[in-house]
Structure 1
């Protein structure tokens, strides 16, 4: 419950701070850079070395990777049919293609399925959502942002993206079965815990409620895809086609129904992919998801 309250407090603080002179108008950009260069690498360096690789990874791991591929296919087709700009298409692919599987996902899963369910949720998030946002999301952001970019430039942006660098180091440590000293682990854990509050304050600083905005129809489509189409896809795939059952499958499908990922919105905004729309999807998507998650919980309960 504390996490849920913190979400709304941070967004409201950001919304209020935007209207004061204490913070410059572009303060949110500094906060976004802090998350990308410090908070997210710390998350990778703390969690990835501790992951246990096994066959249990398959169902939860597919949520982020297949979900992002589905988003890419869905919005690429719509973008071509309706002649959307590359920035709009890229924004929707990234923000609607990634779920908030940790900060919203973890407390919800723990409340519904207990500590055992949380173990599966960590797999959905760390080798799933976190890696996808550090690789595929950056690839899409670079490709769909303004200007032409060569393959070499795209490779450089991914290879030197701070969370990806940290992830690569953490993977090496995982394979070598080495972890950092406890003191450093504590530092990484504390730095990593700044992701959500700082990111949400930045989101709040960019939220605008303009009834005449052209983004409303795209917001509706993006949230419909994330909150209904994506979990429905995994429900059909995992339960009916692959005959999956048990706690791991239920946790995986419920994680697929989570609101858009805050970090995904930051990546989209950092590359100039419709920042207002990206932040609207977070600002409206998180509260709305608490209603749609109840629907999916009961759908899964009667499987």
Structure 2
């Protein structure tokens, strides 16, 4: 695939994102549209897309390094952010939202559509494996952080464990991997149903990202945001510089690691911030900013590493 085609596909995806933003600004749809579509994607089209990936492609055992790296990169970014913001003179609820926003990456809603457009099912398989490890950070560690920085002092371990184990896309990941490794084949009818349900995922995911964009900032939030962005993308920048020195960048495994490390903050940061009375506005701004930055970084990586 040449650079022109890649650029065209990226621009198409960016157009859909800004279409979502324009639709929200024009108030064409109800105010709850973003939340409704987000849940529809998470519980309907995203699980179907995950299942479709594992139906189409056989897992190579070498790919099991990706869940480990997905978890490790998210944890490293969290540790750096926690140690830095722990000493910063900012309010507790703001500090909590900043650190929650550094926990994990938006893979399913953000990366899947782009990866599918550029690298097809093989690329989607790789980034899906990366996202398995990332899921423990997003739905486990981030939730723990939100508890720690909220007004409640007692961490509900059972609730956190249920949050991870009962998250439907994560369950589909595990089930799909098991069925793939054991060689289970689905009847054509089931396969066709899964394919049909997965079709709108890319468009809806990009549209919802645009729908949640928010550009309202004040001075204090800009300063905190800038510090958070530096920490968020530091591991990805280091990998971008270091990986080509030691590895072949034509490898899809290397591409998945690089792309996974520069993905934006997951939308769940807003949900956790709202649930635990943290700084919801800052979490929203962080998601907006990382979405824009990630589009730029991802475009550069895809165009450079064909």
- Range of TM-score over shorter length: 0.7 to 0.9
Q: Is 1:93 matched up with 2:103?
A: yes
96-105 or 25-34, larger mean C-alpha shift = 96-105
Question: Which runs of 5 or more structure 2 residues have no equivalent in the other structure?
Answer: 1-5, 275-279
Cα distance in 2 between the residues matched to 1:292 and 1:225: 20
TM-score, scaled relative to structure 2: 0.75
What is the match of residue 65 of structure 1? 71
Cα distance in 1 between the residues matched to 2:200 and 2:219: 31
- Structure 1 residues 122 and 11: alpha-carbon distance in aligned structure 2, compared to 1, 3 A threshold: closer
SS in 1 for 2:25: coil
Shift of the alpha carbon at 1:90? Answer: 0.7
Q: Is the 8 A contact 1:227 1:257 kept in 2?
A: yes
Partner of residue 166 from structure 1, selected from 163, 172, 191:
172
What is the match of residue 251 of structure 1? 255
Q: Is the 8 A contact 1:35 1:198 kept in 2?
A: yes
- Structure 1 residues 197 and 279: alpha-carbon distance in aligned structure 2, compared to 1, 3 A threshold: farther
What is the match of residue 139 of structure 1? 140
Shift of the alpha carbon at 1:285? Answer: 1.9
Cα distance in 2 between the residues matched to 1:255 and 1:169: 25
Q: Is the 8 A contact 1:265 1:282 kept in 2?
A: no
Q: How does 1:36-115 map to 2 (within 5 A)?
A: 36-57=42-63, 60-82=66-88, 85-95=95-105, 101-108=111-118, 110=119
SS in 1 for 2:53: helix
What is the match of residue 288 of structure 2? 280
Partner of residue 32 from structure 2, selected from 26, 29, 34:
26
- Structure 1 residues 60 and 234: alpha-carbon distance in aligned structure 2, compared to 1, 3 A threshold: farther
Cα distance in 2 between the residues matched to 1:226 and 1:198: 26
Cα distance in 1 between the residues matched to 2:178 and 2:31: 40
What is the match of residue 124 of structure 2? 122
Cα distance in 2 between the residues matched to 1:281 and 1:22: 24
Q: Is the 8 A contact 1:63 1:252 kept in 2?
A: no
Cα distance in 2 between the residues matched to 1:39 and 1:48: 15
TM-score, scaled relative to structure 1: 0.76
Partner of residue 186 from structure 1, selected from 166, 186, 192:
192
Q: Is the 8 A contact 2:100 2:145 kept in 1?
A: yes
- Structure 1 residues 156 and 290: alpha-carbon distance in aligned structure 2, compared to 1, 3 A threshold: closer
- What count of residue pairs does the alignment treat as equivalent? 283
Shift of the alpha carbon at 1:235? Answer: 5.2
- Structure 1 residues 187 and 250: alpha-carbon distance in aligned structure 2, compared to 1, 3 A threshold: same
Cα distance in 1 between the residues matched to 2:28 and 2:263: 31
Moved over 6 A (4+): 96-99
